[in-house]
Amino acid sequence: MNKASLLWMVTVTCCLAQPGDGARPASTNVPGAAFPALDAGNRAIFQLKAPTAQKVHVSLPQGRYDLAKSEDGTWSVTTPPLEPGFHYYTFSIDGVSVNDPGSHAFYGTSKDSSGIDVPEPGVDFYSVKDVPHGDIRSKWYFSKVTNSWRHLNVYTPPGYDQNTVAKFPVLYLQHGGGEDESGWAAQGKTDLILDNLIAAGKARPMLVVIANGNMPASGGARGGGGYNRAGMAPFGNELLNAIVPFIEANYRVLPGSESRALAGLSMGGGQAFFVGLENKEKFGSVGVFSTGLFGGIAGRGGAAPAAFNAEEQMPGLLTKAKAFNESLKLFYVSVGEQDPRIEPTKKAVADFNARGVRVEFATFPGGHEWQVWRKSLHDFAQRLFKP
Amino acid sequence: MNKASLLWMVTVTCCLAQPGDGARPASTNVPGAAFPALDAGNRAIFQLKAPTAQKVHVSLPQGRYDLAKSEDGTWSVTTPPLEPGFHYYTFSIDGVSVNDPGSHAFYGTSKDSSGIDVPEPGVDFYSVKDVPHGDIRSKWYFSKVTNSWRHLNVYTPPGYDQNTVAKFPVLYLQHGGGEDESGWAAQGKTDLILDNLIAAGKARPMLVVIANGNMPASGGARGGGGYNRAGMAPFGNELLNAIVPFIEANYRVLPGSESRALAGLSMGGGQAFFVGLENKEKFGSVGVFSTGLFGGIAGRGGAAPAAFNAEEQMPGLLTKAKAFNESLKLFYVSVGEQDPRIEPTKKAVADFNARGVRVEFATFPGGHEWQVWRKSLHDFAQRLFKP
């Protein structure tokens, strides 16, 4: 035991060299890790010590970059400028996909993955600022739906503890496929986005409930089943019969659909579409970020969603637009401008508009990534819970 | 962008095979990962797909085990029974140390490391049970000491939100070297330990403040500097002048040293010893878990702590035992029975006893690991804040 346990105290030396040319360690690095580093132009320098490896590359959403080996067995590469925002990435060492020991890990792509947060010039809506800060509360709840203890996170706004009579509206906010309830708390920076909006008077103080949308009964850990009504139903059951009742019993929240919203990204956008729009008496506002529901991606669960038929999926949506509009305070759709989902999403929104369905639509630069979802939340939260 | 971003949707297939012989995936796995798995005898089966690798082993605190390669490039090993509790571990692929994609990552050993939680037969004090649950709250605070925004976690007991006049005692609880404020929240299971104790009437409802003890001014990310007064002083400054004032301004906590405790593990035990015992007017109870301060480990920061001199390090501790005893409600020391620190710790405790210093001493089976620290917290919390 003694020798083995001493092994754990050996300092990791792979990452202690300093990057040059004004490059600085990424904010997503573990303390003391100099790499990955970003220079002023958002070029990233990745570095890894692997003396016996024959081939190393780094895979980022925007591409794959080969690392070159130096005499001491250190591999490195300087990439072209990276797109702003948070990117999952992975090293491949001789074909084996591994994490970067210099990076913190973030649950996404169905594993705890390395990630790099690339700053966007002039954008600070998700920075830590000198404003009052809310909490993110880690909570256990027992679900009678799954008959198991489950975990969720709840953002409570600044002052929630001090003003013990005030009640607040609630946004239920869902992650994407291969992610979980840590996504909006860590990668999404929900707390900082809301803290900054509330301090500026641009959003109402609200709770944000960040639950785990992966349902064991509906197709395994990635959850959600297919991109259709049946696939999203298990999460709807969990939300309506376990999560909302738990929140309303344990937090000071306002009753009524006008004070409840449901939104999500990608798979979570599909959940928001089906569960939200089928339960408008519960959710007065629905936000659908970057969903593949409208098409633009390969099908999952065997069914390609390319041929989206709004009326078939949500009877009355197109044919009873007036009633739909009157039953909802806000129907919001967003998507990234470089996301393959954008054209089908634009077509769906055009169809909604043509039939008189009131939808607020926004696009943001970026692909199927967190920078678009941070901006979607930032935008959506400002439109929510208006008097 | 399109092709690259679709890459992220490919299901990770390395871990979808099922373990045999009644083995079940470890509780620390990511959802859907069948390996590592544990059988009824706590033998672990590790598995990794690495077709081009020449040599793969897994390093655990209790030893190193070589994996064997099958024809399809899958490496696997079944270990001897593992010791109970949480273990950091790592794969080595041809000499490169990497994470297991099947495991969640836990910040320790100065990186986000794989970890496996091995159940201990008959032990359930840190299991999720049908009892009232508190929160762990993720908080930002601005430190005038470091002139930066820092992050901490706060456990609030069940009922904190409902009974808005009750005030609570506070335990400040520190992690070890190479860890941070996530340690006691994740690996340590502080919330479940306290929830279960409070429900059983075995501990007073209390807040537990889990701060980051790594101080940039005192020797880098692993923090704390040497195992001596000077090395622990920067954290003491942060605790006394930033953390405690923040907590007392924002939470309903009881004033007075009798309602404040400071404890920690390993490096955090050194922080508790120096900062706690030097500030007994602030902290009425001090818990020192598995510290290397008393000896038994190679020195850090250049100074071997083997020759611990209590009176030199803490003037008056041995020579003014009566005053020491009267100024403190509880002085607690614990250590693992297979930890190399045990003999020097026993000697220090014997010296304390010989000089009339009142110390409560406990040992638990295990090495320098979280199972000992979970048991230390479970034991210490029951002795705290007695009337």
In this structure, of B61-65, B74-78, B157-161, B314-318, the range with the lowest mean pLDDT score is: B314-318
Residue in B50, B128, B221 closest to A32 by CB: B221
Q: Which amino acid does the sequence have at B215?
A: M
Note the pLDDT of residue A230. Answer: 84
Q: Which residue has the higher pLDDT, A104 or B310?
A: A104
Predicted confidence at residue B11, as pLDDT, reads 32
Q: Sign (positive/negative) of CA torsion A361, A364, A370, A374? A: negative
Q: If you average pLDDT over every residue of chain B, what do you get?
A: 91
- Reply yes or no on whether the pLDDT at B225 is more than 70: no
Asked whether B100 and B24 are in contact (CB, 8 A), the reply is no
Q: Which tokens hold the place of A220? A: 């395994």
Which residues from chain A sit within 8 angstroms of residue B140, using beta carbons? 128, 133, 191
Evaluate whether the domain defined by A135-383 bears CATH number 3.40.50.10490: no
Domain B3-118, architecture per CATH = Sandwich (2.60)
Using CB atoms, which residue from B30, B177, B368 is nearest to A110? B30
Mean predicted confidence (pLDDT) in B277-294: 96
Of the candidates B51, B60, B250, which has its C-beta nearest A95's C-beta? B51
Pairing of strands A74-81, A68-69: antiparallel
Beta bridge partners of A212: none
Q: Does the beta-carbon distance from B93 to A96 stay under 8 Å?
A: yes
pLDDT at B218 over 50: no
pLDDT of residue A308: 84
What pLDDT does residue A89 have?
98
At B7, the pLDDT band (50, 70, 90 cuts) reads very low
Cα–Cα distance, A30 to A34 (Å, whole number) = 9
- The closest of A192, A199, A232, A196 to A215, measured between CA atoms, is A232
Residue pairs between chains A and B whose CB atoms are closer than 8 Å: 206
- How does pLDDT run across A243-302, given as a tens digit for each residue? 999 999 999 999 999 999 999 999 999 999 999 999 999 999 999 999 999 988 865 544
Determine which of A132-141, B105-114, B149-158, B210-219 has the lowest per-residue pLDDT on average.
B210-219
Q: Is B99 on the interface with A (CB under 8 A)?
A: yes
What is this structure's pTM? Answer: 0.92
The whole-number pLDDT of residue B22 equals 86
The predicted pLDDT at position B227 comes to 74
pLDDT at site B302: 44
What pLDDT is stored for residue A114 in this prediction?
98
Which residues in chain B touch residue A137, judged by CB atoms under 8 angstroms apart?
A: 135-138
Interchain CB contact of B136 with A (< 8 Å): yes
Q: What is the pLDDT of residue A387?
A: 84
Which single residue is written with the structure tokens 């409840």?
Answer: A260
**Whether pLDDT at B255 is above 90:** yes
Residue B53 has its nearest CB partner, among A94, A180, A338, at A94
**Searching chain B, which residue's CA lies closest to the CA of residue A1?**
B62
Domain residue ranges in chain A: 3-118, 135-383
Q: Is the peptide bond before A36 cis (omega within 30 degrees of 0)?
A: yes
- CA dihedral (A270, A274, A280, A283) positive or negative: negative
d(CA A314, CA A303) in angstroms, rounded, equals 17
Which residue of chain B comes nearest to A88, CA vs CA? B8
Q: Average pLDDT across each block of 10 residues of chain A; the chain has 387 residues. List them in order.
A: 34 44 93 96 96 95 97 97 98 95 96 98 97 97 96 97 94 96 98 98 98 74 62 94 98 97 97 96 98 79 63 91 96 97 96 97 97 98 95
ipTM of model: 0.91
